[in-house]
Chains A and B, each alone.
Chain A
């Protein structure tokens, strides 16, 4: 059953239908479901949305154990990162990614092993589903999409017809993500014709946890201390503003300092050309913040740690000047603030995803975060710009589902929400760099996103020109 038929059936009953519902019906592959939904709708319903589906109740992912301290690092505590490099690690790493992500799809599409297609002729005639990790995605001469996927038992090529449902999503298939596909086999058995695409995704029944106590967190990123484009004035305005506010948490999603040797000729653009000096300066800046403020610091690609993700915490020898209220985490890290889980990830993979996902752009990098959520992976593409250190578990998988994803890296503030998950891309404290000028990237410097932990409502405060209004605690 294709999407338009489903939509038409609802339209016949003068009902609008949410795309999630269409997807769900298609996934269930049960025509009678439509009638059941329609019959159970309340009278005044105009738009059929997820909550009208039978047997689906809002649910949240995982339990919350709240206690003191109100801030807890769930994943990405110091010392989680391990050196990598053995062959077995790579096998284990991708196997772990496949196993966990395919597990999220499995329940919805009942896949068979790819090997079975070659062994058993019955699949030639009937519809079936498989899950696998994408090996290669490309367009055919006629504009269809040809995807090769593999599972541990074999490889198969899948054709997404451009005139079929889900093609739009199929165009966004990126290498190394894990997908499920339902479809039929070509007569000679070498090619699968896709009918429907499954991604691990966030269940549309997902409902985020909100703190029962009042609390505010400031989310920022990319401070770039040491660079000649670091906006010191704006930072001190922010610093002063923080002192006056009710904010209890400050989260920084990487690029704390500008680093050294990150790009050629960087020494000419540094006011502090000493890497120790850069951290020392930041430590002093943070020391001026109220001591009750809990500061969570994650590394980014400009920081002194290795570039391969997951990145370890900043080493001891650089953090001497930092106040004791700093909490050092890895990249990525999952932090629990009064029960609200915030997934901090610097965002190196934007560079990859923007390149491969049609329509994605640096200006709207926050719109890429939902793409990560759909794939339940922070950096699905291996081997492109994002270096990945293989470990026996894939720490870049988004599991459990957080309430908030907090990224940075592109220096442009943006907020979006996807199926209840708040996606925040924090801006920067650095004005437009020479490189960005060449690239025609307009950053949005000196902005902080203030998150109300009770309502999960974000608000952007701009410190670039002057002091913004004080925060009104509600």
Chain B
């Protein structure tokens, strides 16, 4: 652990003390026994060893691991751990158990305790008999072994062998037919799933004949082998995917690694591996020749969506001008724009809204930074002015006729480093000016001139964009002014002229239009730059040979030194709008208590209380499936967590067939896993009224208390109804794990002013903010304070929600648990200093943070490290994706694909520790549009993310398996189209599109499981247009979304229970299975290491940027986190280059969400496109047509003729109309795709075709679609009005 300053030590002590206090209260509450467990279920994890122990569930292993790891490499440790198990140190009873424990633990260790492979990937370990009577080890691999990655797969075999020899088992001696079975089966598996590498039959034979361990597997595919069937020692005829993976992708591909370990451990019997190694050397990646300079990239424009405007075309005049720097609220994939820009651009960009950018990365979150230049606009009256004030921008925006320039964009050096993008020349800025002799900040022309005379360049504020005008135009302008202009009071007056105005607008020269005259002032420098003297005569500098480059010309004419104010233009368009809102399941429950169908569509307890299942019975008596629990004291069986006698009950797990109680294992007689379900007849009404009575609240009409339809967890425990009533009273909803959460968008923040977070200075001093960044004592609201890594600001709305949550917790503690209230918060500001848990999507490890204030903007501002510490999502590394390249389409594991194609030297890192980059070679993936049409789409970028601890595994009815992070976007069939939902929202039975046999078909999710992530990394790719990809045969979304959520610490500690989580794998995704109490910068995503923390850049960087140098060339000169790692200042003493006056300036909500209909959004978008000079509105219109509307129309038209049906009464979905035309429940079955939804964009598309310059091809497409719609639905009936109608 790095050194730590006393100040930070104090900070951590505070956090830990707060945590300890909360743990104590939670522990007391849990002891009351009304929760599924009597102890707090979120362990506080510190390191890998803890994670492994938590994962494999063997107590004490962590200590062993720590011991081993201190002495040897991780891989060695993973083998050596076998010695420990062989001594039966952890109570293993037989050899099989020793082997089982060793293999799983070592795998968990190699995979860093985050992927599911150690648990799910190994089905079982068995000791079987060779033909000579000796015993051998057989490892049964299952599908999830995929997630472990080749190395871990191979090492698992090695560790198996290691322990096998320790235990004195013989090697596996295969029978000839078994060897051939492997040959046949692996080839067949390859045809189903496409292995990364298909071994030749000889290679397979060599492995099987030599490998001392029998690599067996569970059936994973639907197909069976045809040749070597019904072998005595091979239990299944079905293809065993796990086995194939371990052999082909583990042992063969990772042979060098295995060999290395074999040598290190001096193991015998693996020499044959050497022979394998030649055949599998990967091909080197080819590097493209790079030329100096950059070219416009229009990639960010490709999948234009109606209503998300384009702000600037790639490298076009008027686009965003790059300025290097990092403000307090930028960095880590967040860029700064002037708040005035945000307003002028139609309020589409709010704080935190994502903007897709041309470079350096593909997207940037937007933060307001007012120390850079704002936009330049032309008003209706012809005036041209730059707007550097947000208020003015708001007032003036109705009068804006044209946006000549969208202003500057602030991007940090770290962004270029992270994205491995060459440095590009930036717009001349004051920081640069200072580095080249500039002193102070000139406010008048005279001051600027005197600076110039002192040897500096012309100050950027006085520099026009001369390089945007051609030399001829500069001459034309000069001559025109010479001829027609007049100068008075340093104001230049020239008569109106169209061509001249264009030139003035090109160089962004502010001017007024009054009485048909252009007024420019102060005009001295302007005239001087044009080579005009005080009398507006052409100076002698115009004579003779003049430079052919505009900027040189101006320097020549003026005799001043100038630098380009245009710099590099960067294109951008609006990305996905983010949202901060309470997390609600749909329908949103207040309590995890089943109400079945009786609760009606709102699942309310009140409704359930009225429900009668038979005529003439009392209401509220329901048959509900709940878990069986038994009181250890009085042996009463109940579904409640606390017996009426007061003791905590324990779940009873019994065999579903014979009823024997089996505990955790399977039934000894029937061989099936035990279950814990019973149908109880419950008087819900009575229970509900009792809960109200216990709480002393009166039943409130209208305030529904909503439960869930049924329980999905394995043990099916219920929450106390009281909790639901209290949540309902406080208007809170419960998430599936028993916690209350609020989703927020992440934005980085390293410093803040007390003023911005609406917290009094005194309160901040109380919680430890004693000094500002300059070491002065904190006394003023304007002082700048540094944010420690584990402090966050939440949006005000979130504050209110959390406040309600504290009330709920306090009421709960007092009325239900009989304890003292904990929070005692009256108003929002009372929350300051309280601890909460931050959880990133697709993760299962929460991060402990402290709430220190509120942001007006609807984003969560947190330290970049905090964002980076929350692990992210995506696919399991072994997920097979179909990738097409020059050699055809192959299914390859995403890990291999990403690692092969990821040019690490070019990779970027975003705010959450994700590496991403464009693929080194073009690649295509199969994806599907919203209507279910498959397409081959380009892979636009690939990424590596930190893996969350748990992933969700889906198995479909057709046996397809997919493991993704919990927030991964999954595609499910909605009525007529594919909807993206988060993986954790996917339910069993949801229809997902799959790719089978070359066609898209629909499949159902059969099981959902939460698995521990077997790999430290997860991988993803971005696919053009459709943003989804076939992974393991299932179409799923690519990774997107960086919404995080927060919950109150005590809520998590008291109310969270693993027992509530869905039984299905992946159920534990997105649940705080473990809480990291401290962020270690060395352990978080490398991305955050590229954060620059300096207060300015050296001149070399600016100059190198002019040469398009690589950021690495100046790496040593710039203070970044990476350089501080391991030192005391790795977590404090950060600086920024640009300040901003308010982190919540600019629009607080994006216009995109304020506009309701697509028509409005589109009109706004096109209106803006017409105004912005850097945008081609015709091209925007065509792109929207092509990538959004036509796709939608075509998709829905196709979907219409493949549509599903649903019952109006019970909402059952039917793949096709039942023959009877009625639902099984007797309800009416209706189509799900309607004419209206198909035609939704037709009229708009036709109008766009008329109003814009759309290509003939696209026009015809709209025409053909219109024809097809008519032929499908019949021609539009135009009401013919007869004479009779008028009489």
Q: Which residues of A contact B (CB under 8 A)?
A: 81, 83-85, 87, 90-91, 93-95, 98, 133, 135-136, 138-139, 143, 150-153, 155, 175-176, 259-261, 263-264, 267, 273-276, 304-309, 312, 315, 351-352, 354-356, 360, 362, 382-390, 435, 437-440
Tell me how far the C-beta of B925 lies from the nearest C-beta in chain A, rounded to whole angstroms.
11
Asked whether any CB of chain A lies closer than 8 Å to the CB of B701, the reply is: no
Tell me how far the C-beta of B220 lies from the nearest C-beta in chain A, rounded to whole angstroms.
13
Tell me how far the C-beta of B169 lies from the nearest C-beta in chain A, rounded to whole angstroms.
31
Tell me how far the C-beta of B20 lies from the nearest C-beta in chain A, rounded to whole angstroms.
49
Contact code string B1170-1211 (vs A, CB < 8 Å = 1, else 0): 000000000000000000001000100110111111000000
Asked whether any CB of chain A lies closer than 8 Å to the CB of B935, the reply is: yes
Tell me how far the C-beta of A277 lies from the nearest C-beta in chain B, rounded to whole angstroms.
10
**Is B1267 within 8 A of A315, CB to CB?**
yes
Partner of A355, one of B998, B1203, B1229: B998
Partner of B1001, one of A306, A315, A352: A352
Residues of chain B contacted by A384 (CB below 8 angstroms): 999-1002, 1202
* Pairs A–B under 8 Å by Cβ, sample size 28: A85-B1200, A98-B1219, A138-B958, A150-B1219, A152-B1219, A152-B1220, A260-B1257, A261-B1257, A273-B1256, A274-B1256, A274-B1257, A274-B1260, A275-B1260, A306-B1267, A306-B1269, A307-B1201, A307-B1268, A308-B1201, A355-B998, A355-B999, A355-B1001, A382-B1216, A383-B1215, A384-B1202, A385-B1001, A387-B1198, A438-B924, A439-B888
**Is B997 within 8 A of A354, CB to CB?**
yes
Residues of chain A contacted by B1260 (CB below 8 angstroms): 260, 274-276
A439 to B936, CA, bound (A): 10
**Is B1257 within 8 A of A306, CB to CB?**
no
**Is A307 within 8 A of B998, CB to CB?**
no
- Do A176 and B1198 form a contact, CB below 8 Å, given A85-B1273, A384-B1002, A438-B924? no
Residues of chain A contacted by B1224 (CB below 8 angstroms): 155
Asked whether any CB of chain A lies closer than 8 Å to the CB of B485, the reply is: no
Contacts A261-B1261, A438-B924 supplied; 20 other A-B pairs, CB < 8 Å: A83-B1274, A85-B1231, A98-B1219, A150-B1220, A153-B1220, A261-B1190, A267-B1257, A306-B1197, A306-B1267, A306-B1268, A306-B1269, A308-B1200, A354-B999, A355-B996, A382-B1215, A383-B1002, A384-B999, A387-B1201, A388-B1202, A438-B889
Give the A-B pair count, Cβ closer than 8 A: 156
Partner of B1202, one of A276, A360, A382: A382
Tell me how far the C-beta of A135 lies from the nearest C-beta in chain B, rounded to whole angstroms.
8
Residues of chain B contacted by A440 (CB below 8 angstroms): 888-889
**Is A435 within 8 A of B1257, CB to CB?**
no
Closest to B1003 in A: A138
* Residue among A312, A382, A386 with max Cβ neighbours from chain B (10 Å): A382
Asked whether any CB of chain A lies closer than 8 Å to the CB of B884, the reply is: yes
Residues of chain B contacted by A306 (CB below 8 angstroms): 1197, 1267-1269, 1271-1272
* Residue among A133, A153, A351, A383 with max Cβ neighbours from chain B (10 Å): A383
Interface of chain B residues 217 through 248 with chain A (CB within 8 A): 222, 224, 237-238
**Is A389 within 8 A of B1001, CB to CB?**
no
**Is B998 within 8 A of A150, CB to CB?**
no
**Is B1219 within 8 A of A81, CB to CB?**
no
Residues of chain A contacted by B697 (CB below 8 angstroms): none
Partner of B1216, one of A315, A383, A437: A383
Residues of chain A contacted by B1273 (CB below 8 angstroms): 83-85
**Is B1205 within 8 A of A90, CB to CB?**
yes
Partner of B1219, one of A83, A95, A356, A385: A95
Partner of B1267, one of A273, A304, A362, A438: A304
Interface of chain B residues 965 through 1023 with chain A (CB within 8 A): 996-1002
Residues of chain A contacted by B1138 (CB below 8 angstroms): none
The 8 closest A-B pairs by CB, nearest first: A387-B1201, A83-B1274, A355-B997, A308-B1201, A91-B1221, A261-B1261, A306-B1268, A90-B1217
**Is A84 within 8 A of B1272, CB to CB?**
yes
Asked whether any CB of chain A lies closer than 8 Å to the CB of B1235, the reply is: yes
Residues of chain B contacted by A138 (CB below 8 angstroms): 957-958
Residues of chain A contacted by B1201 (CB below 8 angstroms): 307-309, 387-389
A315 to B1275, CA, bound (A): 14
Closest to A263 in B: B935
**Is A94 within 8 A of B997, CB to CB?**
no
Closest to A276 in B: B1260
Closest to A441 in B: B998
**Is B1217 within 8 A of A151, CB to CB?**
no
A425 to B874, CA, bound (A): 43
Q: Which residues of B contact A (CB under 8 A)?
A: 222, 224, 237-238, 884, 888-889, 924, 935-937, 957-958, 996-1002, 1025, 1190, 1194, 1197-1198, 1200-1205, 1215-1221, 1224, 1229-1231, 1235, 1256-1257, 1260-1261, 1264-1265, 1267-1274
Residues of chain A contacted by B1231 (CB below 8 angstroms): 85, 87, 90
- Do A81 and B1271 form a contact, CB below 8 Å, given A261-B1261, A263-B935, A273-B1256? yes
Partner of B1272, one of A85, A136, A356: A85
Closest to B1216 in A: A382
Residues of chain A contacted by B1218 (CB below 8 angstroms): 94, 150
Residues of chain B contacted by A355 (CB below 8 angstroms): 996-999, 1001
Closest to A358 in B: B223
Tell me how far the C-beta of B1194 lies from the nearest C-beta in chain A, rounded to whole angstroms.
7
Residues of chain A contacted by B1200 (CB below 8 angstroms): 85, 308, 387
Partner of A435, one of B224, B936, B999, B1265: B936
Residues of chain A contacted by B1271 (CB below 8 angstroms): 81, 83, 305-306, 312
Partner of B999, one of A153, A261, A352: A352
A259 to B1257, CA, bound (A): 11
Tell me how far the C-beta of B102 lies from the nearest C-beta in chain A, rounded to whole angstroms.
30
**Is A356 within 8 A of B1190, CB to CB?**
no
**Is B889 within 8 A of A385, CB to CB?**
no
Residues of chain B contacted by A81 (CB below 8 angstroms): 1271
Tell me how far the C-beta of B728 lies from the nearest C-beta in chain A, rounded to whole angstroms.
39
Residues of chain B contacted by A155 (CB below 8 angstroms): 1224
Tell me how far the C-beta of B1227 lies from the nearest C-beta in chain A, rounded to whole angstroms.
13
Tell me how far the C-beta of A184 lies from the nearest C-beta in chain B, rounded to whole angstroms.
23
Partner of B238, one of A143, A304, A435: A143
**Is B1261 within 8 A of A385, CB to CB?**
no
**Is B224 within 8 A of A151, CB to CB?**
no
A94 to B1272, CA, bound (A): 18
Tell me how far the C-beta of A143 lies from the nearest C-beta in chain B, rounded to whole angstroms.
7
A145 to B996, CA, bound (A): 19
Tell me how far the C-beta of A416 lies from the nearest C-beta in chain B, rounded to whole angstroms.
19
A248 to B310, CA, bound (A): 59
Residues of chain B contacted by A387 (CB below 8 angstroms): 1198, 1200-1202
A354 to B1000, CA, bound (A): 11
Closest to A389 in B: B1201
Residues of chain B contacted by A386 (CB below 8 angstroms): 1202
Partner of A307, one of B1001, B1190, B1198: B1198
Closest to B1026 in A: A264
Partner of A383, one of B935, B958, B1203: B1203
A386 to B1216, CA, bound (A): 13
A176 to B1215, CA, bound (A): 10
Tell me how far the C-beta of A389 lies from the nearest C-beta in chain B, rounded to whole angstroms.
5
Closest to B1218 in A: A150
Closest to B929 in A: A264
Closest to B236 in A: A143
A440 to B886, CA, bound (A): 12
- Do A143 and B1267 form a contact, CB below 8 Å, given A94-B1216, A355-B998, A355-B999? no
Closest to B1201 in A: A387
Tell me how far the C-beta of A120 lies from the nearest C-beta in chain B, rounded to whole angstroms.
19
A136 to B1256, CA, bound (A): 45
Closest to A83 in B: B1274
Tell me how far the C-beta of A383 lies from the nearest C-beta in chain B, rounded to whole angstroms.
5
**Is B1000 within 8 A of A383, CB to CB?**
no
A98 to B1201, CA, bound (A): 19
Tell me how far the C-beta of A182 lies from the nearest C-beta in chain B, rounded to whole angstroms.
20
